[in-house]
């Protein structure tokens, strides 16, 4: 099955080719084994509206996310945020909520420093302080905020332009806390900052424009991820893995090095309200099994006297969505498997 993000992967391979082979291999090993959430035909605003679930808290705690590592792709329809650069048409982002678990080789491949996250962020803050003499009002890495322990998520973003077949890449760490009030911060990696400074060493205004755009795009990606994870927990549709029923033959040797995507193992994630089925319409009777489907979540007020000893008596509670029927089916040569709700995995 051809990956819908193939063009972006091909450009990434071309960009990584001049580097040592281990860099490219470690990068693609991580990215291509991660779940792929492809929404390439929908833009940010459309997805944000589709994934809106009223009256539920935004799922900001990464421990409650359905995935701790994934690739998300969506369409961009926005004004040019990069000055004289061509505006991208698609956002591609690899997100990992536990960057400290990477090996040193994997960190190097993803553009991170070979050190703990806290230490790299400290180095970036030192760079900000050096720049503050020139642009004192334009840089903030979240000083004076007590970020929760292990709150950083790492993202590697590629802005793809379909018109001229080009990519602009950057990486960094995203922090979020809602205690006492919601606040977030994106900190570019040291490598990203140094590359920006080198590119715009004689154009501080250009650097400022690119830096602002980088942080804006990163915030957009993470806000959409939080919206998606909230929808996966409370929404009407459920995350379903789709992968071929018959494992494909693994490419080896020079072919695997040249086209690493041939060995992609990460499942394609779909949002479905029911699993595909070859079951015929019910013809009557009382014993027909229901088609696999998601029973929507809903709010319920505990007014009945039998709840009088319940701590939420006469208050509203949220009844979580549930799934009715088998959790895995085979359909037209592919396996569709329900991703277990997070509350069943904790």
The pLDDT of residue 291 is above 50: yes
CA atoms within 13 A on the CB side of 190: 18
Mean pLDDT of 130-151: 55
The pLDDT of residue 317 is above 80: no
The pLDDT of residue 226 is above 80: yes
Residue that finishes a domain, picked among 235, 266, 282: 235
Q: Is the peptide bond before 180 cis (omega within 30 degrees of 0)?
A: yes
Residue that finishes a domain, picked among 201, 235, 269: 235
Whole-number Å distance between alpha carbons of 49 and 43: 10
Shared domain for 179 and 74, answered yes or no, is yes
- 1 within a domain of the structure (yes/no): no
Q: What is the pLDDT of residue 138?
A: 47
Shared domain for 45 and 85, answered yes or no, is yes
Q: What is the pLDDT of residue 221?
A: 93
96 is in which domain, residue-wise? 6-235
Other beta carbons within 10 angstroms of residue 29's beta carbon come to: 16
- 21 within a domain of the structure (yes/no): yes
pTM check: above 0.75: yes
Residue among 219, 167, 225, 26 at smallest CA distance from 110: 26
Average pLDDT, the chain: 81
For strand 153-161 and strand 334-338, is the pairing parallel, antiparallel, or unpaired? Answer: unpaired
Whole-number Å distance between alpha carbons of 117 and 299: 40
Of the listed ranges 121-125, 290-294, 311-315, the least confidently predicted one is: 290-294
Whole-number Å distance between alpha carbons of 86 and 80: 7
Shared domain for 23 and 96, answered yes or no, is yes
Shared domain for 213 and 258, answered yes or no, is no
Q: What is the pLDDT of residue 78?
A: 58
Per-residue confidence at 137, pLDDT binned at 50, 70, 90? very low
Whole-number Å distance between alpha carbons of 267 and 337: 10
Shared domain for 38 and 139, answered yes or no, is yes
Shared domain for 38 and 183, answered yes or no, is yes
Whole-number Å distance between alpha carbons of 140 and 130: 12
Q: What is the pLDDT of residue 222?
A: 92
Per-residue confidence at 114, pLDDT binned at 50, 70, 90? confident
The count of domains in the chain is 2
Shared domain for 53 and 126, answered yes or no, is yes
Q: Decide: residue 85, CB within 10 A, 0-12 exposed, 13-18 middle, 19+ buried.
A: middle
């Amino acid at each position: 099955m051809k990956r819908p993000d193939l063009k972006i992967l091909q450009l990434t391979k071309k960009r990584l080719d001049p580097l040592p082979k281990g860099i490219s291999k470690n990068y693609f090993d991580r990215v291509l084994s991660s779940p792929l959430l492809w929404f390439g035909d929908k833009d940010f605003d459309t997805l944000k509206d589709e994934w809106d679930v009223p009256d539920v808290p935004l799922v900001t705690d990464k421990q409650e996310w359905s995935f701790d590592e994934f690739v998300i792709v969506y369409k961009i329809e926005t004004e040019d945020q990069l000055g004289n650069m061509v505006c991208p048409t698609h956002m591609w982002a690899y997100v990992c909520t536990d960057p400290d678990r990477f090996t040193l080789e994997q960190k190097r491949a993803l553009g991170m420093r070979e050190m703990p996250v806290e230490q790299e962020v400290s180095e970036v803050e030192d760079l900000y302080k050096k720049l503050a003499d020139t642009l004192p009002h334009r840089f903030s890495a979240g000083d004076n905020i007590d970020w929760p322990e292990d709150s950083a998520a790492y993202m590697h973003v590629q802005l793809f332009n379909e018109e001229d077949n080009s990519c602009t890449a950057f990486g960094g760490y995203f922090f979020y806390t809602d205690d006492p009030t919601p606040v977030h911060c994106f900190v570019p990696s040291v490598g990203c900052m140094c590359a920006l400074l080198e590119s715009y060493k004689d154009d501080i205004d250009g650097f400022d424009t690119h830096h602002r755009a980088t942080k804006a795009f990163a915030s957009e990606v993470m806000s959409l991820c939080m919206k998606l994870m909230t929808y996966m927990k409370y929404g009407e549709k459920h995350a379903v893995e789709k992968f071929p029923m018959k494992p494909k033959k693994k490419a080896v040797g020079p072919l695997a090095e040249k086209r690493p995507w041939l060995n992609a193992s990460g499942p394609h994630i779909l949002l479905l309200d029911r699993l595909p089925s070859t079951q015929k319409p019910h013809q009557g009777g009382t014993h027909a099994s229901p088609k696999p489907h998601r029973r929507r979540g809903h709010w319920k007020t505990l007014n009945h006297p039998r709840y009088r000893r319940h701590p939420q008596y006469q208050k509203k509670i949220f009844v979580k969505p549930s799934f009715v029927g088998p959790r895995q089916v085979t359909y037209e040569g592919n396996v569709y498997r329900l991703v277990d709700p997070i509350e069943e995995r904790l």
